[in-house]
C-alpha cells in the first residue's frame, strides 16, 4: 500500500469520526511512515524534524490572536458592528433580513478576496473581522457553513485566477516548476490556463448559496474575553483612531516583512505605546488571545510533521508512477488520475504552494508523453496543486475560517469547514480542470 494514501485516508477517517485533528495527523504520520518503510525510529525522527516547519505559522496565529483580543478591548469591533447594522438596515421584515444577509456575506467575500491580492494579508484579517460579526450572523441566522465556504472561496480563487499578490506567487511557482522540468511557459499562459479551473470555485460557491440558504439558529454566547477587557471596551474617538492606526500598521508591516508575526507585533506595540491598551492588561490580553488560537497553531505544527514524514517515505513519487502505469496512453484517464493524485497530496500536505514542486517533477514529462499541449499541462499542474486546499483539515483555507467562526465554540472544524468546502469546491474544480486539460 502507498504511504500517502494510507496516511491521508486515515487522517480523514479519524477526523470525520470527530477524533481531534492533531491526534488524527499524528496517527496518520505514524502509520504512513511505517507503511512507507521508515520504521518506528525513522518515522519519529522525520515527524520531529518536520514539526519545526510549522512553528512559524503557529506563532503567527498566536500573535494574531493576541492582537485581535487587544483590538477587541478598544471598542472598535462594537463600533464596526453598529456601523454594519446601520448600513444594512437590519429589521424584522423578511425583505430587510434578506438584504442584511446579502450585505454581510458580500462584505465578507470582498474582504476575503482582497486579502489575497490588493491587501495581501492572507488569513490575518479573519480573527479581526469575523468574531465581532458573530452576533450579527447569529441574529440573521446565517449558516456558518456558508460563511466558511465564502471565506475559503476568497482565500483560494484569487490566487488561482489572478496574477496579483499571492496569485503572482502561485502562478510564478507553477511556471517555474514546469520550466525546470523541460517545458518553457510564461506567467501569462498560466493565468489563461487557470481561468476555467477557477470557474469551478465559482460553481461551488453558487451551489453553497443554495445548499446553506436556510436559516440556522445559534446560541448567543459572549466571546471569552478577560473581565478587565470587557469593562474597558468603550467607544472613544481617540481610542478608535489609534485602533485603526494599529491595524493599518500591522497590515503594512506584514506586507513589508512578509511576516504575520512582526505585523501583529507592530500593531500591539502601537496599542501599548499610545495607551490604548494598558501595560498591566498585556498579560491577560495576550494569554487569552493565544489561547483562542492555540488549536489552529497545534494543527499546523502537526500537519508540518505529517507532511515531512510523507515526503521522507518517497511514496508521493510512487503514487504518481502508479497512476501513470494505470493510464495506458489515455489522455482522459491520465488527466483525471493526475488531478486525483494532486487532491490526495494537497490534502495531506495542507498547502497548494508546497504541492506544486512535488507533483510537477513527474506530471510534466508524463503529460508531455501523453500529448497534452503546454496550456493543458499548465492547467493540470495548477489545478492538481490547488485541489485539496479547500477541504484539507490542515490547510490555511479551512483553519482560518474556523479560527474566526469558532470564537464562541459553535463551529466544528471538520463538519462545518472541511466537509462543506471539500464537497462544494473540489468536485467542480476537478470537473472543470479536467475539461480545461482536454480542450486547451
- Length of the chain equals 440
Q: Cα-flanking dihedrals φ and ψ of residue 136, to 5°?
A: -70, -45
Identify the pLDDT of residue 242.
81
CA gap 424, 222 in Å, rounded: 31
In the structure grid, which three cell numbers stand for residue 388, read together? Answer: 485539496
Q: Which of 355, 366, 364, 380 is nearest to 432 (CA)?
A: 380
Q: Specify the pLDDT at position 262.
A: 83
Q: Are 161 and 176 in contact (CB under 8 A)?
A: no
Question: Looking at residue 204, what is its pLDDT?
Answer: 94
The reported pLDDT for the residue numbered 196 is 92
Listed residue (46, 14, 62, 78) closest to 294, CA to CA: 62
C-alpha cell recorded at residue 177? 516548476
Q: Which residues of 135-161 are buried (b: 16+ CB within 10 A; e: fewer)?
A: bbbbebebbbbbbbbbbbbbbbbbbbb
165 exposure class (CB count in 10 Å sphere: 0-12, 13-18, 19+): buried
**C-alpha 248, offset from chain centre:** 22
pLDDT in tens, the chain (440 residues): 677 778 777 877 887 777 777 788 788 888 888 888 888 888 888 888 877 766 666 777 677 777 777 776 676 666 666 666 666 555 566 666 777 788 888 888 988 888 777 666 677 778 777 887 888 888 888 899 999 999 999 988 988 888 876 777 788 878 888 887 777 888 788 888 999 999 999 999 999 999 998 888 888 877 655 554 445 545 567 777 887 888 788 778 877 876 777 887 888 888 888 877 777 766 777 777 676 666 667 776 777 777 778 778 777 667 766 766 677 777 888 888 888 888 887 777 767 776 777 777 777 878 887 888 889 999 998 898 888 788 888 788 888 888 888 888 889 888 999 899 999 999 999 999 999 999 88
Mind giving me the DSSP string for 111-164?
HHHHTTTTS--GGGGHHHHHHHHHHHHHHTT--HHHHHHHHHHHHHHHHHH-SS
pLDDT of residue 208: 94
Give the separation between CA 434 and CA 440, rounded to whole angstroms: 10
Instruction: Pull the grid cell for residue 7.
Output: 496516511
**Predicted local distance difference test score (pLDDT) of residue 430:** 92
pLDDT of residue 355: 74
Cα–Cα distance, 281 to 384 (Å, whole number): 47
Can you give the pLDDT at residue 203?
Answer: 94
Rounded distance, CA 33 to CA 313, Å?
6
Cα–Cα distance for residue pair 208/73, rounded to 1 Å: 34
Q: What is the pLDDT of residue 150?
A: 94
Question: CA-CA distance, 301 to 58, in Å (whole number)?
Answer: 7
User: What pLDDT was estimated at residue 77?
Assistant: 61
pLDDT in the model for residue 29 = 83
Contacts 24+ apart (CB under 8 A), 16-23: 16/414, 16/419, 18/412, 18/414, 18/415, 21/299, 21/302, 21/393, 21/394, 21/413, 21/414, 22/295, 22/298, 22/299, 22/302
pTM score, two decimals?
A: 0.75
Residue 341 burial (CB count, 10 A):
24
DSSP 54: G
DSSP code at position 394: T
Question: What pLDDT is attached to residue 88?
Answer: 59
Eight-class DSSP state of 409: S
Instruction: Please report, for the chain, the start and end positions of each structural domain, with discontinuous segments joined by +.
Output: 56-166+225-294
Distance CA 94, CA 4 (A): 49
Which is nearest to 310 in space by CA: 5, 57, 53? Answer: 5
For residue 434, the model assigns a pLDDT of 93
Amino acid at each position: 500500500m502507498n504511504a500517502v494514501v494510507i496516511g491521508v485516508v486515515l487522517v480523514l477517517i479519524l477526523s470525520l469520526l470527530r477524533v481531534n485533528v492533531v491526534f488524527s495527523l499524528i496517527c496518520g504520520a505514524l502509520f504512513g511512515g511505517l507503511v512507507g518503510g521508515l520504521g518506528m525510529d525513522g518515522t519519529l525522527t522525520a515527524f520531529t524534524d518536520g514539526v519545526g516547519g510549522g512553528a512559524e505559522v503557529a506563532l503567527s496565529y498566536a500573535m494574531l490572536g493576541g492582537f485581535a483580543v487587544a483590538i477587541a478591548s478598544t471598542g472598535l469591533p462594537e463600533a464596526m458592528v453598529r456601523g454594519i447594522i446601520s448600513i444594512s438596515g437590519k429589521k424584522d421584515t423578511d425583505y430587510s433580513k434578506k438584504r442584511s444577509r446579502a450585505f454581510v456575506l458580500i462584505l465578507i467575500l470582498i474582504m476575503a478576496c482582497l486579502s489575497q491580492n490588493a491587501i495581501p494579508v492572507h488569513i490575518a484579517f479573519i480573527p479581526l473581522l469575523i468574531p465581532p460579526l458573530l452576533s450579527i450572523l447569529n441574529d440573521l441566522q446565517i449558516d456558518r457553513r456558508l460563511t466558511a465556504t465564502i471565506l475559503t472561496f476568497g482565500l483560494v480563487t484569487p490566487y488561482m485566477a489572478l496574477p496579483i499578490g499571492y496569485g503572482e506567487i502561485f502562478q510564478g511557482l507553477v511556471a517555474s516548476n514546469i520550466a525546470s522540468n523541460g517545458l518553457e511557459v510564461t506567467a501569462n499562459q498560466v493565468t489563461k490556463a487557470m481561468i476555467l479551473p477557477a470557474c469551478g470555485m465559482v460553481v461551488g460557491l453558487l451551489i453553497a448559496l443554495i445548499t446553506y440558504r436556510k436559516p440556522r439558529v445559534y446560541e448567543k454566547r459572549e466571546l471569552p474575553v478577560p473581565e478587565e477587557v470587557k469593562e474597558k471596551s468603550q467607544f472613544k474617538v481617540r481610542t478608535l483612531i489609534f485602533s485603526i492606526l494599529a491595524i493599518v500598521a500591522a497590515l503594512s508591516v506584514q506586507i513589508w516583512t512578509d511576516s504575520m508575526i512582526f505585523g501583529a507585533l507592530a500593531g500591539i506595540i502601537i496599542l501599548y505605546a499610545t495607551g490604548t491598551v494598558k501595560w498591566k492588561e498585556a498579560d491577560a490580553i495576550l494569554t487569552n488571545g493565544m489561547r483562542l488560537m492555540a488549536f489552529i497553531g497545534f494543527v499546523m505544527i502537526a500537519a508540518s510533521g505529517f507532511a515531512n514524514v510523507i515526503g521522507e517515505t518517497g511514496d508521493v513519487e510512487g503514487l504518481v508512477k502508479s497512476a501513470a502505469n494505470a493510464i495506458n496512453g489515455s489522455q482522459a484517464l491520465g488527466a483525471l488520475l493526475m488531478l486525483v493524485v494532486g487532491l490526495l497530496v494537497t490534502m495531506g500536505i495542507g498547502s497548494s504552494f508546497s504541492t506544486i514542486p512535488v507533483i510537477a517533477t513527474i506530471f510534466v514529462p508524463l503529460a508531455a508523453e501523453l500529448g497534452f499541449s503546454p496550456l493543458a499541462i499548465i492547467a493540470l499542474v495548477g489545478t492538481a496543486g490547488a485541489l485539496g486546499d479547500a477541504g484539507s483539515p490542515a490547510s490555511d483555507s479551512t483553519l482560518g475560517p474556523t479560527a474566526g467562526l469558532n470564537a464562541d465554540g459553535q463551529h466544528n472544524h471538520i463538519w462545518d469547514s472541511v466537509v462543506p468546502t471539500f464537497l462544494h469546491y473540489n468536485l467542480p474544480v476537478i470537473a472543470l480542470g479536467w475539461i480545461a486539460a482536454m480542450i486547451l
